[in-house]
Structure 1
Amino acid sequence: MSDHDVTTSSLSLSRRDVLRAAAIGASLAAAAAPLAASANRQAGAAAAEPAAAVSADCSNLPLVGGPEFPIGIFWPPPPFETNRDRYQEIKDAGFTFVVTGNYLFDEFITDYALTQADQAGLQVLVADDPGVKAVTRLFTINDDRTVPNSITIADARTHIQRALGRYSRHVSFAGFNLFDEPFPVNYPTLGKATQIVRELGPTALPYSNLLPGQGPDYDTYVGEYVKQTKPPLISFDRYPLLADGSDDLNYFQNWVQIRKAGLTANLPTWVYIQTLAYNNHRSPTKEELLWQINVSLAYGAKGIQYFTYWTPDPARGEGFQPALITIDGQRTPRYDFSQEINTSWLPQVGRQLKPLVSELVVHANETHLPPATTPFTPDAYLRSVTGGAVILGRFASPDSAQADTRWLLVANRSHKQSTTVQLRTEARKVRRADRFDPGTNSYVELRDPSRIPVTVGPGAATLLRLRGGSDA
Structure 2
Amino acid sequence: MRKFAGISRFPLGFWNYMDIRELDDQVLADWEEAAFSCILSPFFTLEEEDRGKLDILLRWCAEHKVNIILRDPRVSLRHTEPGSSEKMRLAADYDSLVAEAVAEFADHPQVYGFFILDEPHWNYYEAVVQAVQTVKKHSDRLLPFVNLLPAMPSTVDLLQFRHYDRYLADFAERTGAQQVCYDYYGQMMERNEESSQYYVNLNHYRNLSRQGVEFWTTLLSTPHFNYRRPSYEDMRWQVNTSLAYGAKGILYFTFYTPDNAYNSETNYRQGPIDWWGERTDTFYGIRNANRELHQRWGDLFLELQLLQVGHYPEVPAKELNTVDYNGPVKEIEILTGREPKLILSEFRHRTSGQSYAFIVNANPRDSVQVQVQLEGVLRLRRFNAYGEAYDVVNSAPYADIFQSKIWLAPGQGELMELVRTEPTEL
TM range (shorter): 0.7 to 0.9
Give the alignment partner of residue 397 of structure 1, picking from 349, 352, 356. 349
Please state how far the C-alpha of 1:80 moved relative to its aligned partner.
4.7
Give the alignment partner of residue 33 of structure 2, picking from 70, 89, 92. 92
Q: Which amino acid aligns with 1:311?
A: T
Determine the structure 2 residue equivalent to 1:305: 251
Rounded Cα–Cα distance in structure 2 between residues aligned with 1:471 and 1:276: 45
Please state how far the C-alpha of 1:87 moved relative to its aligned partner.
1.4
Rounded Cα–Cα distance in structure 2 between residues aligned with 1:92 and 1:327: 19
Determine the structure 2 residue equivalent to 1:253: 200
Please state how far the C-alpha of 1:393 moved relative to its aligned partner.
1.3
Q: Cα 1:162–1:111, aligned 2, differ >3 Å: closer, same or farther?
A: farther
Please state how far the C-alpha of 1:110 moved relative to its aligned partner.
6.3
Give the alignment partner of residue 340 of structure 1, picking from 278, 283, 288. 288
Rounded Cα–Cα distance in structure 1 between residues aligned with 2:304 and 2:235: 23
Please state how far the C-alpha of 1:214 moved relative to its aligned partner.
4.9
Give the alignment partner of residue 323 of structure 2, picking from 364, 367, 376. 376
TM-score by length of structure 2 reads 0.83
Rounded Cα–Cα distance in structure 1 between residues aligned with 2:55 and 2:38: 11
> What does residue range 58-457 of structure 1 map to in structure 2 within 5 Å?
68-75=9-16, 77-101=18-42, 104-108=43-47, 109=50, 112-120=53-61, 121=64, 122-127=66-71, 129-134=72-77, 151-152=91-92, 155-168=93-106, 172-214=110-152, 217-239=163-185, 240-264=187-211, 266-317=212-263, 318-346=266-294, 348-366=296-314, 369-387=316-334, 388-399=340-351, 401-402=352-353, 405-426=354-375, 429-439=376-386, 441-448=387-394, 450-457=402-409
Please state how far the C-alpha of 1:350 moved relative to its aligned partner.
4.8
> Is the contact between residue 207 and residue 231 of structure 1 (CA under 8 Å) also seen in structure 2?
no
Secondary structure of 2:347's aligned partner: strand
TM-score by length of structure 1 reads 0.75
Rounded Cα–Cα distance in structure 1 between residues aligned with 2:238 and 2:174: 30
Rounded Cα–Cα distance in structure 2 between residues aligned with 1:420 and 1:431: 23
Determine the structure 2 residue equivalent to 1:458: 410
Q: Residues 12-48 of structure 1: CA distance to partner in whole angstroms, max 9, x if unpaired? A: xxxxxxxxxxxxxxxxxxxxxxxxxxxxxxxxxxxxx
Secondary structure of 1:331's aligned partner: coil
Q: Cα 1:422–1:186, aligned 2, differ >3 Å: closer, same or farther?
A: same
Q: Cα 1:149–1:178, aligned 2, differ >3 Å: closer, same or farther?
A: closer
Q: Cα 1:181–1:353, aligned 2, differ >3 Å: closer, same or farther?
A: same
Rounded Cα–Cα distance in structure 2 between residues aligned with 1:465 and 1:340: 23
Rounded Cα–Cα distance in structure 1 between residues aligned with 2:167 and 2:112: 27
Rounded Cα–Cα distance in structure 1 between residues aligned with 2:324 and 2:113: 43
Determine the structure 1 residue equivalent to 2:159: none
Q: Which amino acid aligns with 1:277?
A: P
> Is the contact between residue 70 and residue 97 of structure 1 (CA under 8 Å) also seen in structure 2?
yes
Rounded Cα–Cα distance in structure 1 between residues aligned with 2:51 and 2:367: 44
Please state how far the C-alpha of 1:170 moved relative to its aligned partner.
5.2
Q: Residues 362-382 of structure 1: CA distance to partner in whole angstroms, max 9, x if unpaired? A: 11123x633422112432312
Please state how far the C-alpha of 1:190 moved relative to its aligned partner.
2.2
Rounded Cα–Cα distance in structure 2 between residues aligned with 1:360 and 1:151: 44
Q: Which amino acid aligns with 1:456?
A: L
Rounded Cα–Cα distance in structure 1 between residues aligned with 2:90 and 2:392: 62
Rounded Cα–Cα distance in structure 1 between residues aligned with 2:21 and 2:230: 28
> Is the contact between residue 88 and residue 127 of structure 2 (CA under 8 Å) also seen in structure 1?
no
| Corresponding pairs, count | 385
Which structure has the highest helix share of the two?
1
> Is the contact between residue 114 and residue 170 of structure 1 (CA under 8 Å) also seen in structure 2?
no
Q: Which amino acid aligns with 1:328?
A: W
Rounded Cα–Cα distance in structure 2 between residues aligned with 1:169 and 1:69: 21
Secondary structure of 1:107's aligned partner: coil
Greater shift, 250-259 or 202-211, is seen at: 202-211
Q: Cα 1:228–1:185, aligned 2, differ >3 Å: closer, same or farther?
A: farther
Greater shift, 88-97 or 274-283, is seen at: 88-97
Q: Which amino acid aligns with 1:179?
A: L
Rounded Cα–Cα distance in structure 2 between residues aligned with 1:267 and 1:106: 32
Question: What percentage of residue pairs aligned between the two structures are identical?
Answer: 23
Gaps of 5+ in 1: 1-66, 139-146
